[in-house]
Amino acid sequence: MQKNRIYDAVRCIFAGLCLALAATSANAGDFTDLQKAAKGQTVYFNAWGGDAKINSYISWAGKTLSDRHDITLVHVKLTDTASAVSRILAEKTAGRNHGGSIDLLWVNGENFAAMKRAGLLQDRPWVTSLPNWRYTDSKALPAILSDFAEPTNGKESPWGRAQLVFSYDSARLQTPPKSAAALADYIAANPGRFAFPQPPDFIGMSFLKQVLIELSNGDPALYRPVDDANFDAVTAPLWRWLDKAKPNLWRAGNAYPANYPVLRQLLGDGEIDIAIAFNPADASAAISRGELPNSVRTYIHDSGTLANVHFLAIPFNASAPEAAKLVANFMLSPEAQVKKADTAIWGDPTVLSMPKLTDSQRMAFTKLPRGIATLSDADLGRTLAEPHPSWVPRLETAWIKRYASGE
């Protein structure tokens, strides 16, 4: 009896071990197959190309991939990610289900949700089977599984993290305003010295969401699908804030910069006092390229700022899905993530979990110089979650109607 039970237990353990072993080897086998299939393929990687440092990081990745895996990585530099989504849609319209022109796409939030709805992504989940997925920890960073509250379902692989930070020139401004309310006072006292990118620009919309979350004290309604009945009530504090700020914005609110690099340029030109970026290291990198003065520093609001994760997705009709997965896997490797986190290269925070790395891998991260204007991890600790994605188009339309229609 007793013996039997032990025997059963041993059998169970053995079977379990076998299964686990089989699963790993199957995974490893799959991946070897993948590598074989990917050999010689060309990956057309469609990624926003407006930042020279990101572009040179991608070309470094391309060089490494070509040396190691015989994969050619072509960076298709987009001015707008939605134009690539448009292209995939055009291909679906034309019935081209194979041999599409895009293999890998840098994406998050709204565009991902739209692609998911229209069935423009790979049918089967692929992300968790990537070997380097083991370095991530979805318990510590749940955002790698849910993109703006939209479950990723294993159809986009996390690439980097982003957090809204403000930058200012400490030579001109001693104590920056660290809340939406303080910012309102600052704008009133310093007419013409603050601007944000014009919605529907991504950073512009993020700024509106930031202000709304702060003023409504994180109204729980913002984390549920938008509701016509309470839209006006929930957003009222935001419009009051903007109405008050508008006459004292840059160019009296009669013009807005097109995007955040232009906004950063305005800070460098001394036309504004405070700029916004979605990358904590952006200002440091700009200083090292001579685009911002040495005296620029960054800060976040006391209540925290919006944070999210950006991803790599493979379209349903990719020509080289195998090589694209290999690229996504490489981008998730500690080696590529360390390089990306380096302020001198790009300065994009990693999505990997430090406890899951080996000591030497961890050391590589901790040894990175932070950059003169970059906040410490502790200072960046306070984050706000992205509202439900359905709020974005509604806020966008409402903002345009109020401030950009000339009516």
Partner 1 sequence: MPAANSRPAIRNRQHIAITGLTTLTALLFGLPVLLGLIGIILPASGYFPALGQTGFSNDAARHFLATPGLGLASWLSLKTGLLASAVSLGGCFVILMAFSGSRMMVWLRRLLGPLVAIPHSTIAVGLVFLLAPSGWLMRLVSPALTGLDQPPTWGLVPDPYGFALILGLVAKELPFLLLLSLSASASMPLSRLLAIGAGLGYGRFASWVFLVLPLIYRQIRLPIIAVLVFSLSVVDMALLLAPSLPPPLAILVLNGFHDADLAARLPASFGAIWQIGLVLAALLLWWIGERLVGAAVRFCRWRGWRGQSADPWLGFLSLFAIVPMLIGVMGLVAALLWSFAKGWFFPAALPASASWLHWQDVTSYLPLVINSGLLAISAAFLALGVVFLWLYHGQDLIRRNRLLQAAIYLPLLVPQISFLFGLQIGLSWAGIDGRWPALIYIHMIFILPYIWLVMAPAFAQMDWRHDHVANSLGLGPFRRFLRVHLPLLRMPIGAALFIGFAVSIALYLPTVFVGGGRIATITVEAVSLAANGSRGPAGVAAMLQLLIPLVCYGVIWLFLKYRFGRFANMQGGGLT
Binding of partner 1 by 244 (CB under 8 A): no
Per-residue mark of binding to partner 1, 161-180 (x: CB under 8 A): -----------x--------
Per-residue mark of binding to partner 1, 189-228 (x: CB under 8 A): --xxx----x-x----------------------------
Q: How many CB atoms lie within 10 A of CB 79?
A: 10
Binding of partner 1 by 346 (CB under 8 A): no
Alpha helices in 39-71 (DSSP H): 52-69
> Which structure tokens are listed for 199?
């919605």
Question: Cβ neighbours of residue 122 under 8 Å, at least 6 residues apart?
Answer: 155, 313, 314, 315, 316, 318, 321
CB 186, min distance to partner 1, A? 15
State which of residues 27, 31, 64, 92 lies at the interface with partner 1 (CB under 8 A).
Answer: 92
Binding of partner 1 by 250 (CB under 8 A): yes
Binding of partner 1 by 344 (CB under 8 A): no
Task: List the interface residues with partner 1, window 261-280 (CB under 8 A).
Answer: 261-262, 264-266, 268-271
Task: List the interface residues with partner 1, window 57-76 (CB under 8 A).
Answer: 59, 74, 76
Binding of partner 1 by 289 (CB under 8 A): yes
In the bound state with partner 1, the residue whose beta carbon lies nearer, of 292 and 364, is 292
Binding of partner 1 by 140 (CB under 8 A): no
Best CA proximity match to 75, nearest among 88, 90, 89, 60: 60
Tokens 């957003």, residue? 235
Measured distance CA(364)–CA(23) in Å, rounded = 31
In the bound state with partner 1, the residue whose beta carbon lies nearer, of 195 and 380, is 195
Q: Which burial class, exposed, middle or buried, applies to 93 when counting CB atoms under 10 A from its CB (0-12, 13-18, 19+)?
A: exposed
Best CA proximity match to 259, nearest among 199, 209, 307: 199
CB 211, min distance to partner 1, A? 19
Question: Cβ neighbours of residue 339 under 8 Å, at least 6 residues apart?
Answer: 57, 60, 345, 346
CB 391, min distance to partner 1, A? 13
Directed axis angle between helix 334-341 and helix 321-331, to 10°? 60
CB 258, min distance to partner 1, A? 6
In the bound state with partner 1, the residue whose beta carbon lies nearer, of 95 and 355, is 95
Q: Which stretch binds partner 1 (CB under 8 A): 13-21, 48-56, 153-161, 354-362?
A: 48-56
The answer to whether residues 385 and 309 touch, using CB atoms and an 8 Å cutoff, is no
Binding of partner 1 by 282 (CB under 8 A): no
In the bound state with partner 1, the residue whose beta carbon lies nearer, of 209 and 301, is 209
In the bound state with partner 1, the residue whose beta carbon lies nearer, of 39 and 289, is 289
Measured distance CA(107)–CA(156) in Å, rounded = 8
> Which structure tokens are listed for 22?
């089989």
In 97-108, which positions are buried (b, 16+ CB within 10 angstroms) versus exposed (e)? eeebbbbbbbbb
CB 322, min distance to partner 1, A? 19
Binding of partner 1 by 359 (CB under 8 A): no
CB 269, min distance to partner 1, A? 4
Write down how long the chain is. Answer: 407
Binding of partner 1 by 340 (CB under 8 A): no
Cis peptide bond upstream of 200, omega within 30: yes
State which of residues 5, 290, 355, 367 lies at the interface with partner 1 (CB under 8 A).
Answer: 290
State which of residues 66, 79, 175, 358 lies at the interface with partner 1 (CB under 8 A).
Answer: 79
* DSSP E strands, 164-203: 165-169
Q: Which residues pair with 276 in a beta bridge?
A: 166
